[in-house]
Structure 1
Amino acid sequence: MFHYLSKIDNFGAEFKPRITNSEHEHKSIIGGVFTLLVYGVCLAYFIFVLQQWQTGQILPKILIESAVAAFSKFMMPNDLIAISYIRYEDQDIDPFSEQGNILMPMVAVLENNKPISYRSILNNNEVSVYGTNLVEMEQMELVKNMRNDKSQENNKVYMLLITTCKQQYLKPNQTCASESEISNFLNLGLIPIEITVTLQQFSTSDQQLYEVEKRLQFLLQDNLALKADLLFQNTKSIIDDHPLFSNQKRFVYFSDFTVLTQTLSNSNLSKSIIQDDVFIQIAFKIDPIETVQQITYVKIGEMLAEVGSIANLLLTVSWFIQQFNKEELENKIIDEIISVYYPQFKQITKIKNCMGRTIELRHEKEKINQKEFNKWYNKVRQNVIIKLSIVNQIHEISRLYFILRSQANFQSMIRFQDYGIQLPNKLFEKQKDEINNELPSRDFKIEDYDIESSKIITNNLCDEDLNILSYRLNKDK
């Protein structure tokens, strides 16, 4: 059972023999510089992306779809629509003034195309950019029932009508201009009227709705009437801003509108809804086509994946540094082995130019023929490369064994299996003889084991024998 558990261990440690006395793997200055560069760039990019993510500067994914809604009901916010007169000169008369009023804005509410309410919205709450009275419409509740579903509310449409001032619609403290003043004003020709519509848009940076004004200008004429339909586009925004999981929030608002206009005679337009003369008739409706946009903000996983892609690219480039280190390691080991066989080799000094190319070779004070040295070096290098192979190392060890075997019989060779350096007596609290008596007996035959020669060889060994042939010990001498 325990044997099979050890087989499936995925965290096993691999033994790596040292290249030299203190190095498990070869590392270079160029590799260190590039490592700092790679991880420095990755860390800087991660901090940059994290800062953008926290401040909402990373654009979310937005999917926009259009759908036809058979039924819609929407309560439009206050001050959505305002009417004003465009005055070019300060002395021009404001037709929407409450005192001496000339043009009166009226609102008609239609349910299933039948008027259910008709009233004046003349007020003096705000002043337009032209210095004239800014008339704001009241809050409107629009209902769209395309299929006339009896289980749902009836269609409800609001209309803005601009007529001449009528005494019966005035509020307290409001007056009409005289008929001559009204007639003189209408005879001026084209009268510019501006409609300001306040729409809403969704801000992806702070996840809030903000207002956007859209302006329409119409020209009022005495003998003609302008009919316009404003189809408001209903937008549903579904927001998913959770950093890990799904967390949807919904916003419903009017983001835009479409204008359909036509010009009719004044008499034909007015008799269709009310009995008053109408110069401008604007109907506010809901567009049957609504927009659904799904906004998904960047998750932590996507952000880390983006940073990881940059890291992978840089680590791919690091392959060249690995190849450089590999070649440099091979050259270093080859030179070390050559020095073992040719001790004078490590005393050779190489003089290089700024490009790293060897231009001169010296052994102590004597100059070396570089051409002949290169020929010799390439030949020796090939031989050393062969010596580095595992097969060649085993081959050389086997040859040494055969040489020793030719000088001693099998029984003499096998005795050396148990020979070794004895531990110092000072390590043990008991006497040496007591320890030897407690040692387990071997299954060797008496005739195959020379006790006297074993003691002689073992007693002659000491701690210094451990490294007597060590490459490092001989190099440090």
Structure 2
Amino acid sequence: MASLPKQLKDLLKQIDLFSIPVPVLTNDSKQQYSSFYSGLISILVSLLSLAYFAYVIQEWANGNILPTITSNQQAMAYTEQEMEDNFIQFKLSDPSNHDPFKRLNNIITPLLFIVENFKIVSAPLPLFSDENKPFTVGLKKGTLVVNNLNTQKSDESLKPIKNYLLIFIQCSEQYLDQNSNCASQQEIDQYMEGYHGFLSIIMKLEQYSFKKDQIEYITKQSYQAFSPTYIQYTQIAIQQKEINLDNGLLFQNEVTYKLINDFYLINQSIDNLYIQNIASSFSSQKFELNAIFAYQISIDSLQISERIIMPKLSAVLAYIGSIVQVIFLLKYLAFFINNRQFKEEMVTEILHMYYPNLKNIIIKRNFFGKIISTNQSNEGNQNENFIKQYQGHLDLAFKKLRLINIIYELSRIELLMEKHFGFDNVSICTKLGTEFQLNNYEKKNESLRASILSVGNQGHQNSEDIFTIFNKS
């Protein structure tokens, strides 16, 4: 750092944020002490703070700062959910590569029943696969409703309980439409005896992405063994999630989303007669169904409620401030450096006032300010003794640094000089100081002494009179 140009050092001193107060200076002089070391630390701390501020603001803008999320589960007495087209699909993975759901030469026909208040309210709708999606059948868009309110007290505007019943049956001509037909019975029997892999239940779910601030769609699949030999009844319960989003920048701004969050399956093995009884009990019509699978699709009355509070500007700034405070711990290092250098410079200046010839001595210090070497000769431990004596004089100079002590010392020195040299000689005195005399520092009970000379130098001066004053603590 000593090799830095003086102008650069002065510039660094001007931008030092960690200047320390100088209580010994008058109001006419600068009130703070600055150093270029502390100026460098100021630049470092400022750059780190600005860089971290820009980083956090960018992360906040990109949605990478996590919001506050609270979640709970509650039972809903009434809820309804609009379902999109093909919100649930059934896809067969058949190693025989024979599509049983196709419209022509149909082998297995999925029949869709709409059930309200446990009553079938429409004729069964046959579902078929197409050329774009072979082996796949899907449900058209609709509405699912849960209503567990007392019917006598319920509002007429509330819809009744509504769900879907989907039954996979062996093809029967009475349930087909005009543009479809069944395969031959021999072909149907042959297909029923073979192995046909798994039936995948695919549902499109929704989730909220706080990073993109939008609803995203994902798919979930569940697998069931497709075996016509064993009839299964499966309840597909769809779970809802209600999101209360507060995305205000400064103040509260509420937005509510109701999403399809998940679904789960409840399976049970039954016989063919049970499926027919279910369909017949839900309708005044008697159904004859050679069923393979039966699915009841409904909304789960248990709903997940989630509260999301996006990070607000005030929280982001508070977060930045807390980290910047940690970065500013470097200021204690800057204060330490400034205090150390200030003490070193001030006591050295005071010592040079008494001993001007010490300005020619080159002194090297370590990082902690300890004197490690000088340009004095090291013969006979002269350099070592000089360092000890020099450090001792610095310690004495530091004791004289206090303002009240300086005023007191100046008053005593002035009175002493007037007494010994007279007022006229003191007034024309232009030079203070004397040669630094190297004493035997190891001797105990011996004071550090010096003498003061002036240009006038009227007669002999007793050296003990002057630096007995300096050596007093």
**Normalising by the residue count of structure 1, what TM-score does the alignment of the two structures yield?**
0.74
Q: Check 1:355–1:406 CA distance in 2 against 1; reply closer, same or farther (3 A cut).
A: closer
- Which whole-Å CA distance do the structure 2 matches of 1:114 and 1:222 have between them? 27
Are 1:349 and 1:364, in contact at CA under 8 Å, matched by a contact in 2? no
Instruction: Flag the 1:378–1:365 CA change in 2: closer, same or farther, 3 A.
Output: closer
Query: Counterpart of 2:143?
Result: 141
| Contact 1:79–1:138 (Cα < 8 Å) also in 2 | yes
Q: Residue 110 of structure 1 aligns to which amino acid in structure 2?
A: V
Alpha-carbon distance in 1 for matches of 2:230, 2:180: 27
Residue equivalent to 2:89: 82
Q: Is 1:49 aligned to residue 56 of structure 2? A: yes
Partner of 2:102: 97
Task: Map 1:88-167 to 2 at 5 A.
Answer: 88-89=95-96, 92-125=97-130, 127-128=132-133, 132-150=134-152, 151=154, 152-167=158-173
The answer to whether the aligner puts 1:211 opposite 2:217 as a matched pair is yes
8 A contact 1:348–1:364 mirrored in 2 = no
Q: Distance in 1 between the 2:212 and 2:108 partners? A: 42
1:248–1:468 CA distance, 2 compared to 1 (3 A): farther
Alpha carbons of structure 1 residues 469 and 182: separation in structure 2 relative to 1, 3 Å: farther
Aligned partners of 2:266 and 2:323: how far apart in 1?
52
Change in Cα spacing, 1:337 to 1:364, as seen in structure 2 (3 Å) is farther
Q: CA deviation at 1:169?
A: 2.5
Question: Structure 1 residues 468 and 125, CA, compared in 2 at 3 Å: closer, same or farther?
Answer: farther
| Structure-1 separation of matches of 2:378 and 2:395 | 28
> How far has the Cα of 1:228 moved from its partner?
0.8
Matched residue, 2:38 = 31
Residues in 2 aligned to 1:470 and 1:139: alpha-carbon distance in whole angstroms: 105
Task: Give the match's secondary structure for 2:112.
Answer: strand
Alignment of 1:262-281 (within 5 A): 262-274=268-280, 275=287, 276-281=289-294
Unaligned stretches of 5+ residues in structure 2: 1-20, 281-286, 421-426, 433-473
For 1:310-321, what aligned pairs fall within 5 Å after superposition?
Answer: 310-321=323-334
- The alpha carbon displacement at 1:133 in A equals 3.8
Matched, 1:68 2:75: yes
Question: What is the 5 A alignment of 1:228-307?
Answer: 228-274=234-280, 275=287, 276-307=289-320
Q: Is the 8 A contact 1:106 1:118 kept in 2?
A: no
1:186–1:17 distance in 2 versus 1, CA, 3 Å: same
3-state SS of 1:78 partner = coil
Instruction: Tell whether the 8 Å contact from 1:361 to 1:368 is kept in structure 2 after alignment.
Output: no
CA deviations on 1:51-91 (whole Å, 9 max, x unpaired) are 111111222221111111111111112110112321224xx
Gap change, CA 1:470 and 1:322, over 3 Å in 2: farther
Q: CA deviation at 1:17?
A: 7.2
Q: CA deviation at 1:265?
A: 1.3
* Residue pair 1:69, 1:288 contacting (<8 A) in 2 also: yes
Cα shift at 1:405:
12
Q: Retained in 1: the 8 A contact 2:377–2:383?
A: no
* Aligned position for 2:192: 186
| Preserved contact between residue 126 and residue 133 of structure 1 (Cα < 8 Å) | no
Q: More displaced, 117-126 or 278-287? A: 117-126
1:335 corresponds to which of 348, 351, 362:
348
Distance 1:354 1:143 in 2: 78
Instruction: Quote the residue 2:397 is aligned against.
Output: 384
Cα distance in 1 for residues equivalent to 2:170 and 2:140 = 20
Moved more, 268-277 or 242-251: 268-277
Residues 432-471 of structure 1: pairs in structure 2 closer than 5 A = none
TM-score relative to the length of structure 2: 0.75
Structure 1 residues 398-450: Cα deviation after superposition (integer angstroms, max 9, x where no partner)? 5478779999xxxxxxxxxxxxxxxxxxxxxxxxxxxxxxxxxxxxxxxxxxx
1:214-250 Cα deviation digits (max 9, x unpaired): 1222234344311111111110111222221111111
Aligned partner letter, 2:343: E
Please say if residues 22 and 31 of structure 2, whose CA atoms lie closer than 8 Å, have aligned partners that are also in contact.
Answer: no
User: For the residues of structure 2 that align with 1:353 and 1:330, how far apart are their CA atoms?
Assistant: 15
Distance 1:354 1:143, change over 3 A: closer
Residue equivalent to 1:199: 205
Indicate yes or no: 2:356 matched with 1:349: no
Matched residues in 2 for 1:284 and 1:72: separation?
Answer: 15
Q: Distance in 1 between matches of 2:414 and 2:352?
A: 25
Q: Distance in 1 between matches of 2:418 and 2:384?
A: 44
Query: Quick one: structure 1 residues 220 and 380, their matched pair in 2 at CA, closer, same or farther if it must change by over 3 Å?
Result: closer
Quote the offset at 1:290 in angstroms: 0.5
Residue 369 of structure 1, aligned match among 382, 385, 410: 382
Counterparts in 2 of 1:248 and 1:341: CA distance versus 1, 3 Å: same
Structure 2 residue matching 1:44: 3-state secondary structure: helix
Q: Tell me if 1:175 matches 2:159.
A: no
Question: Which residue pairs with 1:437 in the alignment?
Answer: none
Partner of residue 15, structure 2: none
Partner of 2:11: none
Contact 2:92 2:135 in 1 (8 A): yes
- Alignment match of 1:40 (pick from 47, 62, 70): 47
Q: For the residues of structure 2 that align with 1:35 and 1:121, how far apart are their CA atoms?
A: 77
Structure 1 residues 177 and 193, CA gap change in structure 2 (3 angstroms): same
Whole-Å Cα distance in 2 between the matches of residues 365 and 22 of structure 1?
41
Q: Deviations over 1:69-117 (max 9, x none)?
A: 111111112110112321224xx32100101011111111112222222
The answer for the alignment partner of 1:413 in structure 2 is none
Q: Report if aligned partners of 1:127, 1:133 keep a CA contact under 8 Å in 2.
A: no
Aligned match of 2:336: 323
Assess, with a 3 A threshold, how the Cα gap between structure 1 residues 217 and 363 changes in structure 2: closer, same or farther. Answer: closer
Amino acid of the residue matched to residue 112 of structure 2?
Answer: V
User: Does the residue aligned with 1:118 lie in a helix, a strand or coil?
Assistant: coil
Q: Which runs of 5+ in 1 are unaligned?
A: 1-13, 408-464, 472-477
1:390, distance to aligned residue in structure 2 (A): 3.0
